[in-house]
Amino acid sequence: MIELHSSPTPNGQKVMIMLEETGVEWKHIDVNIRIGEQFKPEHLKLNPNNKIPAIVDAEGPGGGQYTMMESGAILLYLAEKTGKFLPKDMRKRYDTMQWLFFQVAHVGPMFGQANHFNGQAKDNQYARDRYNNEVQRLYRVLDNRLGKYQWLACEDEYTIADIATYPWCKGHKDRGIDKAVFPHFIRWFEAVEARPAVQRSNDMAAEIRARMSKAVEGQAPINIYDTKDNAERLALATSH
């Protein structure tokens, strides 16, 4: 049994999709980042960086329990554990690594910053332009790649690079990314979205989101972007 301690954000969802795709036995443990549960001491034991996701595998390497943070590393671990979605052929394997790391190093952080400044700092035009331009450039990189290959890393294999990148790209309509200008990206996005495991994970994400919204009712939601709270968070994060 694998526990996924998470919220249904893009980094959480990529692990959900992988768990569904591989068919391992797993369950979701809600860590509601809207009310700061990522700062609880029990979560810090699983993810020393106070973020979601984290997994706990009851049957880890060597037989004992194994705990992990970092969604990209978690996908690699699950791929190795199950023998799925990470090609055996060395060239394809490293193509997959390249595009997985491209997601972790570029798509995630840049899309995340764009979302942040668009939502939280509407008057900061410099920052919004910087990250929105970078997001457009990254969609162009994806479209170019997908014009040459059916899947992101490999021509003939759906891999953890596709699984990692899809949830981050979901807001494409709001970002003006359409079929006329990014046809290869749209073809790929629709192919990933049509997979039964991806659909199941999207349904689960909606359920978890509804459950978490209910849990927030009556509680003061914390704003993780509120810099005034930072001293308290720093103290929590370093107290164990």
Ligand X SMILES: N[C@@H](CCC(=O)N[C@@H](CS)C(=O)NCC(=O)O)C(=O)O
Q: Smallest gap, in angstroms, from Cβ of residue 11 to ligand X?
A: 4
Our CB check for ligand X shows the closer of 7 and 182 to be: 7
Contact call for residue 70 and ligand X (CB under 6 A) = yes
> Is there binding between residue 51 and ligand X (CB under 6 A)?
yes
Q: Which is nearer to ligand X, 10 or 87 (CB)?
A: 10
Looking at the Cβ atoms of 28 and 51, the one nearer to ligand X is 51
Count of residues in contact with ligand X, rule CB under 6 A: 12
Sequence-distant (6+) residues with CB within 8 A of 136 are 175
Are the C-beta atoms of 80 and 26 separated by less than 8 Å? no
| Distant-in-sequence contacts of 202-206, Cβ < 8 A, 24+ apart | 202/13, 204/8, 204/16, 204/20, 204/28, 205/8, 205/12, 205/13, 205/16, 206/8
Distance CA 22, CA 39 (A): 30
Contact between 35 and 61 (Cβ < 8 Å): no
* Least separation in angstroms between CB 163 and ligand X: 13
164 binding ligand X? (CB under 6 A): no
Decide whether 38 or 96 has the Cβ nearer to ligand X: 38
Q: Residues interacting with ligand X, by CB under 6 A?
A: 9-11, 33, 38, 51-53, 70-72, 224
